[in-house]
Structure 1
Amino acid sequence: MAQETPAGGFVKSGFEEVEKVFRDNIRSGLEKGGSFAVYYRGELVVNIWGGECDALCRREWKQETVSCIYSCTKTISAVVIAHLVDRGLLKYSEYISTYWPEFGQNGKDKIRLEEFLCHKAGLAGIEDDSYRLSLLVDNPRKLGEILAKQKPLWKPGHQYGYHVHTFALYLDQIVRRVDWKFRGLAQYFGEEIAKEFDLRIDIGLPKKSQYKCAKISINRSDGQLVDTHGEISMSGDPKLLAIVNQGWKHAHIINNPDFMCLPSGSSHGFSTAEALAKFHSILAAGGTLNGKQLISKYTLELMKQPLTKGYDVTTGAQDIFGLGIMIFPVVENDKVTYMFGHSGFGGQIGLSDSQYQVGSAYITNHLNLLSTFKSGVQDSRYLVYQALYKCIHKIEKKIVKRTVFQSLADIQNAVKSKL
C-alpha cells in the first residue's frame, strides 16, 4: 500500500476547490513538494503546503518551510528601486552614470535606469574571469569595478535580453551609491521594507536559518526525480547563454550553504509562499498595507507599463516586462487586464492582481524545467490558479471565461486562432 503524501494548511470557506486541486496534484505526483498562498482583498484565504521538502531524507514540507524563489526575487529588487524613486533618490529616466560615474565607460554612459530595468541594456553577462558571485559579500567594491568595465553585449536599447543573474548585481551597486547609509540592496530591503511590513523574506538565507530550507531536486519531463546536476538550459544565442549562465552552470548549487547565503537580488530570495503572497498583496492593493505606504500608486503604475516585448536574444522567450517586473495579460470576456510579478526557475511564481486585489505565490523545491504558466497547460501552478479564480468568480457572482498569457507569442497565436 502506498504511503499517503503529507499535506497541511487551511483555506477559508469558499476556496475549498483550491485545496482539493492542490492536494490532488500532491497525490498524483504532479507536485512533489511545495506551497501555495493567497491574500484576497487584504485577507489570507489560502495557505496550504504538502509533499517533501527534502526528497533524500523524506522530510515533510511544513508551515515554516522556506524555499528559494529564484527570479521571483527580481520583483522585490524592482520594488527596492521604486522605494528609492519615491524618496527622490532615483529617477527612472536618469542615466545610471549620474549616480555611478564609473558605470559610464565602454559605451554605457547613455543607459537610463528604466532601460536597464526592462532588460534592454545589453548587460546580461559578465566577461571578466575574476568575477564570482561571492564578491557581493567578500568585496562589493571590486564587484562594482568589474561591472563598470563590462561592455554591452548588444547596442543598448536596440534589443532585449533577460538579465538573469546580473539584474540585481547592477541594482545593488546603484543602491549603495544613493542610500545615505550606503547599504546594499538586500540590506536595504531587510531594514526598510521587510522589517516595516513584517515580511519574512530573506535575500540570501543566513546559515542559522538554513535548517528550515527545502532542498532542491529536479524533475524529468516524465515526472521522475533526477539528481540536481542538470544544467540550466535555454533556447537563445548559445554564445550569449555561456556568458549569462556564468557561475550558475548547475542548478544544485543553491543547496550549497555558502552559496545559499549570498545576497543576490536576482535569484537568492528565500520565503514561504505566505510571506511572498503578502508582499504581492500590498502591491495588488496599490502599494499600501493598513494605511502604511510601501510605494506610491503613481510609481506602481509606472512599473506596470508593458515596456519590453518580442524576442529575447538570451533565452529565446517572448516574455513581457515592465520596470523590473513581468507582465501577464489576462483576458476575461474579451476585456484585457494585467497581472504582474515574476516567475522563477522551475515553477515558482509570485503575482499581484489589482483587478481582484489578489496577492499570491506558489513555490516548489521539485523543479520542473518544462514549467509554464499559461492557459491550457497541465502545470501544477496553473491548475491551482485556475481553481482559485473559479472560487473568486463565484464569490463575486461573475460568469467569465478567463485566459492567461505569459508571452507575446501566446497572445499572437490566440489572435490568429480567431481569424
Structure 2
Amino acid sequence: MTIIIVLLCRYICAGPFLPLSCQLFSLNCPKASDTLHGFVEAEFTEIKNIFSKNIESGLEIGASVSIYYENKLVVDLMGGFADWDTGKPYDENTLQLTFSSVKVLTSFVVARLVEQGILDYDEKISTYWPEFAQGNKENVTLEHLMTHRAGVGWFDNHLTKVAELHDLDSFAKVLESQPHNFGGVPTMSYHACTRGYYLNEIVRRMDPKHRTIGQIVREEIMPQYNIEYYYYTSEDLYKSRVAQIYSYPVPRVLAKLILPGFMFTNPVHPLFFEMIAPGTKTHKTLVNSCPNQAQPKDWNKLEMVKPEGPSYNGITNSRSMAKLAAMMANHGKPIPGDKVEPILLKDETLEKFLERTHSTYDQSLLEEFTMSKGGIGFFRLPGLEDYEFLGWGGSGGSLLLWNEELKIGFAYCMNAFHTSLLGDERSLAMLKETVRTVLRLKNNHHFRG
C-alpha cells in the first residue's frame, strides 16, 4: 500500500502530461527535448531554456512559441510530439487547433468589412439579418456581439451538433429563433462558440460574394500575409499535419478540485466548477452550445474540425499567430520584408476597433473583462501588471497577444490541454521573460532589428 501511495504522489506531483508508465517506471521513453526545432536570437536565449524545461518537466507534449520584437521574428521554436503514440515530432510543419485564440483573427475579418463600409459596429444586427429580430433581440448591435453582450451566448433548448454546421441555411433558423438570454438587456456573458456562429451568418449575408469568414481568410488573409489559418480542414491536411490533443490528467483535475488552491501553481478557475454543473450559465455556454458537447479529447476526430467554427476552430501555428500580433504591435501596418504586404487595418478602422468599452463582469466566465469595440481583450497579466497586452487566448492554453508600446507580438500554441483561463505557467513564463529581455535591450540600446 505504501508503494502505491508513493507512486500516486509521484504521478500527481510530477509533470502532468508524460504518459503514466514513463513517469512511474522510468521506461525508455523518447526525450521530448531532443525534438526541438526552430531558432532564437541570441538576446532571447532564455526563452529557449524555458520552452525546453516545459517539455522536460512534462508540462508539454508538443508546442510552439513565436515572438516578434520591433517587427523582427526573434523566437520561433517548436518541440515535443504532435503524436506521442507514433513519435511524430511537433515541428515546423505541425498545425494546431487553438480554440478561442481564433476569435482575434475573426475580429480582424469583421473589422476589415467595417473598413469597407459593409458592416458598422453601431448598426443593429437585424438590419443585416431581419429574422434575427426575434425574442427581444431587435436592439442588439454588432458591437454587442463583438463584446459578448448580445445575449446569445447559449441556446436554451438546443444542443449543438457538429453535423448542423454543414448546412448554414438551416442552422441560421436555430440562431435567429433563440431568445435573448437576458430579456433584451445588454449583459456581458461569454459567447464561446456562438459568437462565431452569428458572425458567420452576418458575414455571408453581407459579403458581396456571400463568403463565410473562413473562406475570406483562405482567399484574402492567408495569401496576402503568407500565413496559415484554417477555419475548416480537409482530411489530407488533418491527417498529415494536425497535432493530437491531450487532455489534462483526470487525477490532477480531481486533486485541483478537491485540494486547496494554494497547493498549485495554476489552481482550477471557479468557472470549471460551474462548467460541470448542468443548468448553469457556464455549462450552457461552454458545453451545451458547442459542437457535440465535446471534451478536449473528442477534438481528435476529423468530423469536429471539418466545418467552420469561427469562434473556436482555427487550425494554425504560432508563427502565423505571431505575425498577426506583430502587425497589431506595428499599429496595423505590415511587417517590413522582401514582399510588400497590405495594411492589416487602416488608422481610422484601428481606432474604432481598439475603442475601449467599460470593464464588465462576465456572467459565464466569472471574471471582469475589458473589451474593445472590435472584440479583443485588454489584459494586465499576473507578473506583467505594468504592461497591457491586447488579444485573446484559447481553451487549454493558446495565446495571441501584442503590446504596441514594447513592440512585442507573442503567440503560443500546444496540444497539452491545461485548465487555466488565460495562459498558464508555460506561456506566461516565456512572456514575462520576453518583457524582461525587451526592457533590458531598450535600456542598453543593444538590439538591432
Instruction: Please indicate the TM-score interval, normalised by the length of the shorter structure.
Output: 0.7 to 0.9
Q: Distance in 2 between matches of 1:177 and 1:107?
A: 22
Among candidates 300, 311, 330, match of residue 350 of structure 2: 300
Deviation of the 1:262 alpha carbon: 1.6
Structure 1 match to 2:101: 72
Larger radius of gyration: 2
Deviation of the 1:333 alpha carbon: 10
Q: Is the 8 A contact 2:394 2:422 kept in 1?
A: no
Deviation of the 1:194 alpha carbon: 1.7
Among candidates 135, 151, 160, match of residue 164 of structure 2: 135
Deviation of the 1:172 alpha carbon: 0.3
Structure 2 match to 1:408: none
| More moved, 388-397 vs 80-89 | 388-397
SS in 2 for 1:22: helix
Would you say 1:324 and 2:375 are equivalent positions? yes
Q: Is the 8 A contact 2:274 2:280 kept in 1?
A: no
Q: Distance in 2 between matches of 1:65 and 1:266?
A: 21
| Richer in strand (by share) | 1
Would you say 1:269 and 2:319 are equivalent positions? no
Among candidates 182, 193, 211, match of residue 183 of structure 1: 211
Q: For residues 3-402 of structure 1, what are the structure 2 equivalents within 5 Å?
A: 3-5=30-32, 6-129=35-158, 131-137=160-166, 139-210=167-238, 211-220=240-249, 233=272, 235=274, 238-244=279-285, 245-246=287-288, 247-289=292-334, 290=336, 292-322=342-372, 323-329=374-380, 337-370=387-420, 372-373=422-423, 379-397=425-443
Structure 2's unaligned 5+ residue stretches are: 1-25, 254-270
Deviation of the 1:314 alpha carbon: 1.6
Q: Distance in 1 between matches of 2:311 and 2:331?
A: 24
Q: Distance in 2 between matches of 1:11 and 1:58?
A: 24
Q: Is the 8 A contact 2:399 2:422 kept in 1?
A: no
SS in 2 for 1:352: strand
Q: Distance in 2 between matches of 1:107 and 1:386?
A: 45
- Mark the CA change 1:191 to 1:311 in structure 2 (over 3 Å): closer, same or farther: same
Describe the superposition over 1:321-374 as per-residue Cα deviations: whole angstroms up to 9, x where unpaired: 22321211369999x55321111001100112111222221101010113644x
Q: Distance in 1 between matches of 2:61 and 2:183?
A: 43
**AA in 2 matched with 1:173:** E
Q: Distance in 1 between matches of 2:295 and 2:138?
A: 34
**AA in 2 matched with 1:241:** T
Q: Distance in 2 between matches of 1:21 and 1:34?
A: 12
**AA in 2 matched with 1:301:** E
Q: Is the 8 A contact 2:190 2:364 kept in 1?
A: yes
SS in 2 for 1:196: helix
- Mark the CA change 1:144 to 1:308 in structure 2 (over 3 Å): closer, same or farther: farther
Q: Distance in 1 between matches of 2:208 and 2:356?
A: 31
| More moved, 144-153 vs 155-164 | 155-164
| More moved, 239-248 vs 40-49 | 239-248
Describe the superposition over 1:290-343 as per-residue Cα deviations: whole angstroms up to 9, x where unpaired: 462121123223323332533221222333322321211369999x55321111
Structure 1 match to 2:11: none
- Mark the CA change 1:360 to 1:156 in structure 2 (over 3 Å): closer, same or farther: farther
- Mark the CA change 1:396 to 1:18 in structure 2 (over 3 Å): closer, same or farther: same
Q: Distance in 2 between matches of 1:221 and 1:258?
A: 25
Q: Distance in 2 between matches of 1:367 and 1:95?
A: 37
Q: Distance in 2 between matches of 1:158 and 1:281?
A: 33
**AA in 1 matched with 2:219:** E
Q: Distance in 2 between matches of 1:253 and 1:277?
A: 27
Deviation of the 1:221 alpha carbon: 7.8
| Richer in helix (by share) | 2
**AA in 2 matched with 1:203:** Y
- Mark the CA change 1:384 to 1:89 in structure 2 (over 3 Å): closer, same or farther: same
SS in 1 for 2:435: helix
Number of matched residues? 388
- Mark the CA change 1:222 to 1:304 in structure 2 (over 3 Å): closer, same or farther: farther
Describe the superposition over 1:179-225 as per-residue Cα deviations: whole angstroms up to 9, x where unpaired: 1100111111211222211111111222121121110011238769x
Deviation of the 1:24 alpha carbon: 1.6
Q: TM-score when scaled to structure 1?
A: 0.86
Q: Distance in 1 between matches of 2:207 and 2:221?
A: 14
RMSD: 2.6
- Mark the CA change 1:52 to 1:96 in structure 2 (over 3 Å): closer, same or farther: same
- Mark the CA change 1:308 to 1:155 in structure 2 (over 3 Å): closer, same or farther: farther
- Mark the CA change 1:80 to 1:358 in structure 2 (over 3 Å): closer, same or farther: same
